[in-house]
Chains A and B, each alone.
Chain A
Amino acid sequence: MRIRRAYDGALALALAVSVVLFIVPQLFFVRQSFFESLAMGMMGDQLSFANYATILSDGFYIAVFVRTIVLSAIAALVALFIAYPTAYWLARLNSPVLRWLIILLLVSSFVSIVVKVLGLSMLLGSQGPFATFLRFVTLGWWSGSLLHNELAVAIGLVQYSLPLLIMLLFGVVQTIPKSLEDAALVHGASDWSLLRRILLPLSLNGIVTAGLIAFNMNMGAFTSAVLLGGGNVLTVPVVIQRKIVLEVDYPVASALSVLLTTAVIVINLLLVALRRGGPVGAGQGRQAA
């Protein structure tokens, strides 16, 4: 019991830190979002829904939200498509090399996003290999850069979330015994039906979780959007930053933040609810029966 209490104490500390560093600022944001914005960073003293009304009735903001959600979702899906086969391959790799590959993956996920994005902007920029190749193929008719558009931002988002997704899905595939695959194959399954009838259903929970994590990371991604989008790709975090830094409009920025957080939470809850009603994964037999 004493140990138990000691653990509870440690948890209380963690809770206090979360409250002070996360929840209090959020509440501050929420409160701020209800004040009218006067110019030059000044705020009115009347509580109102004016900021929300402005955002939700303005096509510009709606487009920003739609763009952010679509871009985040596509980048998350693409990352899943790349991460799953890689994770599967790693999980089934029966070799001492595996350790080193995992370490490499871990290290690559620790590299600062700024460094990663800089690398990408060199790769995609007008002097990069892809642009050079395109200029060559089109005999100089095409001359430009692959940067500063939605594609570049999506590539950046995928690159950033990929190591984490691979590691998450690696753990998921590892929980599927190899003997299940052997059983499927010996009983006549093709590779496709092995994937469709065994591997995917058994990894679905993990795939949805990993996909949501990537999506949530993408929704809040600022660096990729700013550096690779170069001001042409306006996502919610980019617009929030502009509102604060360029227009000194704290109330609208706060309202945008609150809406972004709300959107993320609602989308996550929706997907989780959908999963409940969907097909079962490993160990979920009882609930379905």
Chain B
Amino acid sequence: MSSVSLECLVKSYGPTEVVKGINLHIEEGELIVFLGPSGCGKTTTLRMIAGFIDPTSGAIRIGGEPVVRKPPRARNLGMVFQDYALFPNMSVADNVGFGLVERGKSRDVVHKRVEQMLRLIHMEALGNRYPIELSGGQQQRVALARALAYEPRVLLMDEPLGALDQKLREEMQREFARIQRDVGITTIFVTHDQQEAMALADRIIVMNGGVIEQAGRPEELYDRPDTLFIADFIGRSNRFEGKVVRKVSDLVSVRLSGGEVITGQSRSVLSVGDPAACVVRPESLAVGATPQEGTNAISAQVLRRSFFGSGINTILRYGENLEVILQTPKGADLNLQEGNMADVRFRPEDTFCFPLPKAGR
């Protein structure tokens, strides 16, 4: 188990910079998730840590030791691949023991350790099977056992659950979280699925366009997004655009197209007259008749309601064509009629305002 440090890590292919200077320290035993849309540089970063890609500049330290010029085999890492990459010509047991055999361990040691790993993934009875005979979830567990068998310093996972269906995916997330906690290994997990990232991560590193947009615990990213991209990308949110009309310390007021002025928090540089976008989570919206002091309020038309198990989404239309989603727990009776107008209220503490680029969009 080791810490991992990335220092000013850059990767460019010709004139295109894919990773643009990443600085990150990962503590021993931490479970880090690189999250971002495809092409954001997360997989490139992971493959640089693994040693498959040489960085253009910058340093990678594993347990304090610089590894950049070292081949993958000399880095002592475990890795799970998106397509599992199990060796089809070897049995499950031989797959799991692969790294141990390569490290010159005796037959006895390999055998014992393989049994131990198969117990860990609850597949004791399947050691003699071949990968082709296993289900997707089983193959994934074998890939994990193979990567952990020789006690690597760091575990790398490249979208490992991408090929599984939703239910199995969630099951594997729980299974994986259990194993990671049991083993306590430093883990870097790459995914584009923000729910998966939220479910697993000690810390999420959101990447976009080759840089880190924000790094933090899942709740931090959800409750206090640093940028509009994060607010959009993590969880669902409603977005109101307008022009800044007032700014008092880190509270800004924005006039919307319908004339309403809403107030929200802003940690970005915003001055009066700037175009701005304010985002509010669906569960932070409420509908009520009595206006309260200092609460944002807009008037919107109820379009439809949809039930999703643990709650109800109400979709409203604000202005010409902006859809607003309001999420309420199942029992709450809002007494809303489709087609009626409703007053939607939300607190400035739950509203986050960001600058919008002046041109475009």
Contact = CB atoms under 8 A, between A and B. Distances in A.
Decide whether A and B are members of one complex. yes
Interface of A: 177, 179-180, 182-190, 193, 197-198, 201-202, 279-286, 288-289
Contacts of B78: 186-187
A186 B88 contact: no
B89 A183 contact: no
B87 A190 contact: no
Interface stretch (B127-135, B167-175, B216-224, B247-255): B127-135
Contacts of A283: 88, 132
Interface string B75-102: 1111101110111111100000011001
Contacts, number: 92
A198 B91 CA distance: 13
A188 B102 contact: yes
A197 B100 CA distance: 14
23 contacts: A177-B85, A179-B85, A180-B85, A180-B87, A182-B79, A183-B87, A183-B146, A184-B87, A187-B73, A187-B99, A187-B146, A187-B150, A188-B73, A193-B102, A281-B89, A282-B89, A283-B132, A285-B131, A285-B132, A286-B132, A289-B91, A289-B129, A289-B130
Given A183-B85, A187-B150, 10 more contacts: A179-B85, A185-B52, A185-B73, A186-B79, A187-B78, A201-B89, A202-B89, A285-B88, A285-B129, A289-B133
Contacts of B273: none
B50 A186 contact: yes
Nearest to B132: A285
Interface residues of B, number: 35
Contacts of B52: 182, 185-186
B147 interface: yes
Contacts of B132: 283, 285-286
A153 to B, nearest CB: 37
B89 A186 contact: no
A279 B87 CA distance: 14
A190 to B, nearest CB: 7
Given A193-B102, A285-B131, A289-B129, A186 B87 contact: no
Nearest to A284: B89
A183 B156 CA distance: 11
A189 B87 contact: no
Nearest to A204: B89
